[in-house]
Structure 1
Amino acid sequence: MDIFTDPGVMTSLFVVGAHVATAAGVWLYRRHRRHRSQRHRSAHERDRVQKKTFTKWVNKHLIKVRKHITDLYEDLRDGHNLISLLEVLSGVTLVKLVNIRNDDITDGNPKLTLGLIWTIILHFQVSLLLIGRQWLMAVF
């Protein structure tokens, strides 16, 4: 009787083969998990570095208006620091909000929302009129 016809040997070969296949599957699974974990860690590290770098860049510009942020995500939420950054970068003073809080807008306060829009209209329409007047004076 040879090893391929002996039922005991064949059973043993199948058992060994099953163990090898299981071990290979476990090895592949662990390798995939480890690789996925490394990708997750590197993505997390990239996000952390970007946040730190961008925070430094924002502070480099906000220092010109004596402002400073510590958390990029939290400190830009209400929009005030973001507007300050845009003003510094553009060299243009944007609309100043008086007696209007960000909660007033997000809560949908009708009177203050209308007041905000009116302030924006005045700022930009007057700017356009002045620019148009200067252009007309230059042409004629």
Structure 2
Amino acid sequence: MKTIKVHVVTPDGPVHDSDVETVIAKAESGELGIMAGHVPMVAPLKIGVIHLKNGKTSEYLAVNGGILEVRPDKVTVLAQSAETAEHIDYDRALRAKERAEQRLHTQSNEHVDFKRAELALKRAMNRISIVEKRY
């Protein structure tokens, strides 16, 4: 099967660079499946997983928003942050999830920014899901 070059870059530098058969990403408009020869496009990404498939092997990246650019021979992801399972601190992600849930359940507190707490919860759950898929 043909492969497509994938580059994932954050403000801190490159996170991933390889050739894969399929890229699956969660865009604002829905889930995208990309293979070599895909039509050129640009799509904003949601907080979610980028699934990179090569034969029977899979790699998962936790991405916290960004832009996906597709060309027939190359996919570039410019993400606000992106992490592989090896770089995620699972215990820290669990604590972040608990903190965000507590903030969301504290409705009486006027100083809680619910949108910010909701995004923190989504990021934490995304990181947790990446680590759990690895095992």
Does the TM-score normalized on the shorter chain lie above 0.5?
no
Give TM-score, length-normalised by structure 2: 0.25
Higher helix share: 1
| Larger relative contact order (Cα-Cα within 8 Å, sequence gap ≥ 6) | 2
Which of the two has higher C-alpha Rg?
A: 1
Higher strand share: 2
